Amino acid sequence: MSGFWNVSMQSKKKIGLFSCVAFLIIVIYIFRLIPWRSYNHHGNVFEYDEYGDGDYDERARIDHARKHIPKWNYTKENIGIFIRPRHDWMPTPKPTKFVPQIVVKKNEELSFSPSLPLPKIEENFYKFLEQKDVICKQDKRLGFQHDGGYNVCFSPPFGLKKPCLVYSFGIGNDWNFDDAVSKIYGCRDLAFDPSLKDLKNHNRSNLITFQKIGLGGRHGINSKGWKMKTLSQHLKDEGHTKSIIDYLKFDVEYTEWKILANILSDNSLDNVKQIGFEMHTPEFLAKFKNKNNPKHATVDDYLKMVKLLKGLEKKNFRKFNHRRNPFCEYHVTYAVKTYFSCYELHYVNMNFVTSNYTIVEN
């Protein structure tokens, strides 16, 4: 009787064990039938929106995640139902390899023959202003986003990095550009403007110095009584004849043509990496300076302006940006067209592009 009882007890234990195992199998089977779906935005199995608030936690089903990471590389949560991968185990993404490349544009050849009629010369001139010679993928406007700001190319090998040096001619009580290059990028900024009557030579900050001197086509005192210097003289007086000038900016209200004629005649642009300036046509003078004696550009005027701008190209400067000044709009009745007498032009010096860069024509 005792033997029979012992056998019965063993059978009961086996039956109980079998029942437990069967119950667990049923539970697991039902658990696996639940339609687990990922609510994340890119289907990464290691992310799960636990609270439905768009904040994706790095979690996954334990049975799924075990296929992707070693058993010893997780921590159990919620009684083993979810696991969280260890951040120190996750592979570090490889940095994007920088490929030195400069993309230049193949532009339409525009004719500037003196024999062309004025409307055609004028049309070609404004087409020429709006042609980009090189693509700058990191083109940023510093300072005021409208009139007063200037574009800087930050695509390598250009940009503004400490220690950088900026020459800024023509402030007009707008310090946004100068403050940006100094405060954001830590550049030393030399600012000049002889037209500011109430302002004396001073240090605006540790990085910005101001002098009441202008940039001109020659040395001396102009008709307004302002002290003027050429760019080469400014560089000499500041001890920068051999220094890299990261950015040269000038807004001098139509004097830019005399300045361009001067700086193209010497080597003062050799160490300048970028130029930004506002150019003006005679229509600007007619609208803003001499309303009683309006003057419109002639064929000779356009040819002279084109020659100077092409002189920058001969120095290996290439235009990466242009911007119309909407306040300088004017109309021509003989062509029934609208043009702008003020343009900001921005150039990079291609002489700073080293031999490891590939020039790609677009």
Q: pLDDT tens digits, residue range 5-28?
A: 455 666 777 777 778 888 888 878
Name the token pair of 209.
């110095």
101-361 classified as CATH 3.40.50: yes
* Confidence at residue 76, expressed as pLDDT on a 0 to 100 scale: 45
Name the token pair of 35.
């339609």
CB 45 within 8 A of CB 65: yes
Separation between Cα atoms, residue 129 and residue 43, nearest integer Å = 49
Whether residue 163 has a cis bond before it, omega within 30° of 0: yes
Q: In what order do the strands lie in the sheet with 134-135?
A: 134-135, 101-104, 358-361
Separation between Cα atoms, residue 82 and residue 61, nearest integer Å = 5
Whether residue 157 has a cis bond before it, omega within 30° of 0: yes
Pick left, alpha or beta for residue 337 (phi over 0 → left; psi -120 to 50 → alpha; otherwise beta): beta
Handedness of CA 264, 269, 270, 274 (dihedral sign): negative
Degrees (nearest 5) of the Cα angle 327, 329, 334? 165
Q: Long-range contacts made by residues 116-123, C-beta under 8 angstroms, separation at least 24?
A: 116/299, 118/298, 118/299, 118/334, 119/332, 119/334, 119/335, 121/299, 121/302, 121/303, 122/297, 122/302, 122/332, 122/335, 122/339, 123/335, 123/337
Question: What b/e string do you get for 139-157 counting C-beta neighbours within 10 Å, with b at 16 or more?
Answer: eebbbeeebbbbbbbebee
* Confidence at residue 286, expressed as pLDDT on a 0 to 100 scale: 76
Distances (CA, A) of 217 to 195, 210, 239, 243, 302: 17, 20, 20, 21, 20
* Confidence at residue 334, expressed as pLDDT on a 0 to 100 scale: 75
* Confidence at residue 344, expressed as pLDDT on a 0 to 100 scale: 96
Question: What SS3 class is residue 111?
Answer: coil
CB 228 within 8 A of CB 220: yes
Question: What SS3 class is residue 303?
Answer: helix
Name the token pair of 235.
């560089």
Which one, of 302, 294, 309, 293, lies nearest residue 346 by Cα? 309
Adjacent-strand bridge partners of 5 = none
Cα 356 versus chain centre, distance: 22
Separation between Cα atoms, residue 140 and residue 359, nearest integer Å = 22
User: pLDDT below 70 — which residues of the chain?
Assistant: 1-10, 31, 33-91, 96-98, 289-294
Give the β-pairing of 227-229 and 220-221.
antiparallel
Contacts of 65 by beta carbon, 8 Å cutoff, 6+ apart: 45, 46, 74, 83, 85
Helix 299-314 vs helix 256-263: crossing angle, to nearest 10: 40
Please give the biggest Cα pair distance in the chain. 134
* Confidence at residue 52, expressed as pLDDT on a 0 to 100 scale: 44
Instruction: Please report, for the chain, the start and end positions of each structural domain, with discontinuous segments joined by +.
Output: 2-85, 101-361
* Confidence at residue 25, expressed as pLDDT on a 0 to 100 scale: 85
- Tokens 């001619």, located at residue: 169
